[in-house]
Chain A
Amino acid sequence: MSRELIVSSSPHVKVSDGTSSIMLDVIIALAFPIGITVFQFGPRAAVIAAVSAASCVAFEYLYRRMMKKPGSISDLSAVVTGLLIAMCLPASVPYWMPVVGAFFAIVVVKQLFGGLGKNFMNPALAARAFLLSWPAAMTAWTASGVSLPLWDASASATPGADAVAAATPLASLKTGIIPNISLPDMFLGHIPGSMGEVSAVMLLLGGFYLWVRGVISLRIPLSYMGTVAALTFAFAPAGADRPMFMLYHLLSGGLILGAVFMATDYSTSPVTRRGQVLFGVGCGLLTVFIRFFGSLPEGVCFSILIMNACAWLLDKAGRPRRFGARAKRKGGIGL
């Protein structure tokens, strides 16, 4: 009687996909861009990422324990949040900043709203917005290829203190000038910037991995980047080389990181297909508006956060028609 016949109701075929396996895929995908930052900025980049991930896990554990809720660190979502926070920071930030960011992301943005899947804003991006409280540290860019010391890195990245400080490509794009950096350098990541905005090729590789694994669909990333491409092409400043202007906009800043890793966050983006496309287009519009007209050079963070808050509305807009139901002609708001 070693072989029993088990009679059960469907589903009969199960896969082992769960939150933790998806999160593990995201961690693997993030390993590409994080790996390259170690070559760009030295081992300090990896330490920042580790501090950030560890403090996220610690805060998640402590909060769940204090509130007497079942532990949730084994779903690995806190690790992903921690790595994403690190990607939003320059490698030269002091070590307490990822810790403060982790507290804000995990406790305020995620757990106070009920934990994984119930937060209405991307925790990592909200943490970045919070950390902009210290603008000097958040905009101290290190030139690529300079290995930062493990301690007192912020001193060497402070503008004027050393030759290390550098302007990001976006800062010059803001003034309508194509930066003095070759396109391959932009693509490979030999540019100053936050850890997650330097290497386009590694971010795309990570995104490709996520797509192959079925973790993300391409609706949001493509509609997001497509909108940015179309707008920057159409509204390039007079006299600028349009395709180049567009390409530099696509490759600079946090656009690829945001489009691939942040905007596709399940709990803060729409679930309907049309909603997702609208979400991406909205993110793209806001990003270009902020880049062109805002006071900050980069708008990816705020545009995704704003669209996060609209995700429920876009889901209503994207709700598929019920089979056999007629589209409403009049009345209702048509959403």
Chain B
Amino acid sequence: MKSDLKSVGSRFSDGLIFQNPVTVLLLGMCPVMAVSVSVFNGIGMGLSATFVLIFSNTVISLLRKFIPENVRIAAYIVVIATFVTIVDMLLQAFFPQLSKSLGLFIPLIVVNCIILARAEAFARVNGVFNSALDGLAMGIGFTAALIAMSVVREALGAGTLLGVPVMPPGFRPALLMGLAPGGFITLGFIIAAMQWALNRRKRKGKL
């Protein structure tokens, strides 16, 4: 039981920090750059991807002994596409505004490298429980990174957070932060800050 708890903990610390899909593995850059312009979109995208990750990891882990080696990628895509279609339709039905602003990036989750990478690297060789947990942890890590980026970009690029003005009067939003260069610069700073904190912890641990 104790070792189980430990592995649960390591799933989450991997997903959030040590193997964070965005800031460490640098996967799925396309939706990250496009969507992290506003916090609302970032949360929407993060949760949609989390949903898909959990269920695709679960199903692929269940089927891992039946899927032939040679066509496994195609099989994964079919599984993932199923859940993406579900998310897409749910969003259209219940959050039409979010669905409209995320647009093409929801269907594009099908080919999101994070989801394929977790299927290929984790769900294929691990049990159902652990795979589902991995999907949840990775999804939370992805969402957290998206929120971190979109907070910076929305505050500097539009002067708002979740649409509410947060900057002092007279602040003039920087157009560039909402564009792709702003996204890459923000990501660079977040990665640098994370690495700095990790290195500091490592150094302190050694001392």
- With a cutoff of 8 Å between Cβ atoms, the chain A residues found around residue B185 in the complex are 108
Interchain CA distance A133-B175 in the complex, whole Å: 4
- A122-154: CB near B (< 8 Å → 1, else 0) gives 000000011011110000000000000000000
Query: How many contacts between A and B, using CB within 8 angstroms?
Result: 17
**Complex Cα gap A135–B172 (Å):** 11
CA A134 – CA B176 in complex, angstroms?
9
Q: How far is the CA of A132 from the CA of B174 in the complex (A)?
A: 9
Q: How far is the CB of A8 from chain B (nearest CB, A)?
A: 43
A134 and B173 alpha carbons, distance in the complex (Å): 8
17 A-B pairs within 8 Å (CB atoms) are namely A100-B174, A108-B185, A112-B192, A129-B176, A130-B174, A130-B176, A132-B175, A132-B176, A133-B173, A133-B174, A133-B175, A133-B176, A133-B177, A134-B172, A134-B174, A134-B175, A135-B175
A67–chain B nearest beta-carbon distance, Å: 11
Chain A interface main SS type: helix
Residue of chain A at shortest CB distance from B156: A133
Output the least CB separation between B195 and chain A (Å): 13
How many of chain A's residues have a CB under 8 angstroms from any CB in B? 9
CB-CB under 8 A from A112, the residues of chain B are 192
Give every chain A residue within 8 A of B173 (Cβ-Cβ). 133
Contacts from B to A (Cβ < 8 Å):
172-177, 185, 192
How far is B22's CA from A210's CA once the two chains are assembled, in angstroms? 47
Q: Which of A210-228 contact B (CB under 8 A)?
A: none
Least Cβ–Cβ distance between B22 and chain A, in angstroms = 20
Q: Chain A 74-115 against B: per-residue CB contact (8 Å), 1 yes, 0 no?
A: 000000000000000000000000001000000010001000
* Closest B residue to A97 using CB positions: B172
* A129: B residues at CB distance < 8 A: 176
Which residues on the B side are within 8 Å of A100 (C-beta)?
A: 174
List of B residues within 8 angstroms of A135 by Cβ:
175
The 10 A-B pairs with the shortest beta carbon distances in the complex, nearest first, are A133-B174, A133-B175, A133-B176, A130-B176, A134-B172, A108-B185, A135-B175, A134-B175, A134-B174, A132-B176
